[in-house]
């Protein structure tokens, strides 16, 4: 596997191999000195055309735990308009000697385009509304390891709630959870669903109350305030009342149901209860797992993915 651009491009075997390798990375991360020399001498460049401190730090921490060198290229949206084309930017960085690009962009497809302009590996760290494959990987790892049923989610129902239309997290997770055998149900106002999803392996329901007591995983998406300005929902209050995780809804969850959120949370909007009061909350586990999942991806694309990294500390 040279690149990780989209969950759609993975086979089930590749997905489960990444999940299993993540277990190994979790073990490395738990050591007193959480660092192995697996990627020593390799250079990982984070190229973030859209700000995302959390994702960037997660990738850079992952790279450092594998002893890779890191460099960071932060592009304000304005400098994109200063005349340098996307291609020029990538070719320039590539010439400095990069083994893997970690790319985030507000427009769908940019990581795909980058693969045309460099020989390096490319990892999609989120492109537009399209894909965020490492998020899906860490989410699947968090969920499967919580349930303790290996990589199998057969018989489990995952509800993804909120702004599916504008969500790369949702697009990646619909696919990833389905590949592991789960049933995925989308819960959102019609304005926040994609225009046409007849061929998606999911069903959609109109109300969270309809499914809240039957689901095994409640995946809350971030509700962005600008969606209200675009008249996609009448108000955040109304959104919260119809789709937010209120105390009443939390009380109706199954006792072993998990609650996930990709962060950053809008407290009082999609999540009204304090997650600290939710026994099923895995929101901090997601962040922790994120580093290990990204170690697993970096290792896989940069090593050819065959041999697990050497166990010894540096």
Q: Is 128 in the site for other proteins (CB under 8 A)?
A: yes
Q: Name the strands in the sheet holding 100-105, side by side, starting at the edge strand that comes first in the sequence.
A: 69-74, 43-48, 100-105, 121-127
Residue 137 neighbours by CB distance under 10 Å: 28
Least distance (Å) between residue 119 CB and other proteins: 17
Q: List strand residue ranges (DSSP E) for the chain, in order.
A: 43-48, 69-74, 100-105, 121-127, 157-161, 183-187, 202-205, 217-220, 258-260
x/- string (CB under 8 A) for other proteins, residues 143-182?
Answer: -------------------------x--x-----------
Q: Is 131 in the site for other proteins (CB under 8 A)?
A: yes
Q: What's the CA gap between 170 and 174, in Å, rounded?
A: 6
The reply to whether 130 belongs to the active site is: no
The reply to whether 3 belongs to the active site is: no
Catalytic member of 132, 145, 166, 294: 132
Residues 292-311 that bind other proteins (CB under 8 A): none
Residues 242-261 that bind other proteins (CB under 8 A): none
Question: For residues 19 and 136, which CB has a smaller minimum distance to other proteins in the complex?
Answer: 136
The reply to whether 54 belongs to the active site is: yes
Q: What's the CA gap between 130 and 167, in Å, rounded?
A: 7
C-alpha to C-alpha distances, 163 to 27, 143, 282, nearest whole angstrom: 34, 21, 20
The reply to whether 104 belongs to the active site is: yes
Instruction: Please name which of 39, 56, 87, 8 lies closest in space to residue 301, comparing C-alpha atoms.
Output: 39
Catalytic member of 54, 225, 247, 267: 54
Residues 37-56 that bind other proteins (CB under 8 A): 49
Termini Cα distance of the chain: 26
The reply to whether 242 belongs to the active site is: no
x/- string (CB under 8 A) for other proteins, residues 181-210?
Answer: -------------xxxxxxx----------
Q: Is 130 in the site for other proteins (CB under 8 A)?
A: yes
Structure tokens at 70: 């890191």
Least distance (Å) between residue 139 CB and other proteins: 17
Instruction: Mark the segment that binds other proteins (CB under 8 A) among 12-20, 108-116, 136-144, 177-185.
Output: 108-116
Q: What's the CA gap between 276 and 30, in Å, rounded?
A: 23
Q: What's the CA gap between 44 and 71, in Å, rounded?
A: 6
Binding site for other proteins (CB under 8 A): 49, 80, 85-88, 105-110, 112-113, 127-131, 168, 171, 194-200
- Catalytic amino acids? 54-55, 82, 104, 132
């Amino acid at each position: 596997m040279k690149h990780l651009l989209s969950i759609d491009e993975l086979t089930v075997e590749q997905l489960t191999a990444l999940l299993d390798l993540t277990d190994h990375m979790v073990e490395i991360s738990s050591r007193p000195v959480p660092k192995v020399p697996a990627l020593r001498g390799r250079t990982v460049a984070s190229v973030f055309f859209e700000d995302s401190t959390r994702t960037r730090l997660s990738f850079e921490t992952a790279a450092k735990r594998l002893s890779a060198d890191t460099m960071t290229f932060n592009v304000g949206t304005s400098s994109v308009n200063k005349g340098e084309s996307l291609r020029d930017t990538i070719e320039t960085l590539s010439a400095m000697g990069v083994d893997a690009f970690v790319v985030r962009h507000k427009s769908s497809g940019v990581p795909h385009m980058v693969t045309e302009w460099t020989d390096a590996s490319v990892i999609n760290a989120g492109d537009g509304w399209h894909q965020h494959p490492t998020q899906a990987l860490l989410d699947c790892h968090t969920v499967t390891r919580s349930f303790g049923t290996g990589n199998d989610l057969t018989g489990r129902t995952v509800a993804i709630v909120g702004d599916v239309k504008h969500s790369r997290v949702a697009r990646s997770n619909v696919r990833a959870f389905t590949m592991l055998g789960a049933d995925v149900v989308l819960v959102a106002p019609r304005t926040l669903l994609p225009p046409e999803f007849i061929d998606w392996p999911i069903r959609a329901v109109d109300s969270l109350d309809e499914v809240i007591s039957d689901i095994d995983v409640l995946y809350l998406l971030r509700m962005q305030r600008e969606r209200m300005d675009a008249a996609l929902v009448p108000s955040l209050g109304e959104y919260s009342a119809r789709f937010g995780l209120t105390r009443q809804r939390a009380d109706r969850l199954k006792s072993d149901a998990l609650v996930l959120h990709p962060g950053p949370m809008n407290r009082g909007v999609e999540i009204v209860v304090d997650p600290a009061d939710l026994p099923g909350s895995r929101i901090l586990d997601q962040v922790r797992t994120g580093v290990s999942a990204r170690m697993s991806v970096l290792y896989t694309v940069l090593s050819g993915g065959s041999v697990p990294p050497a166990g010894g500390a540096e």
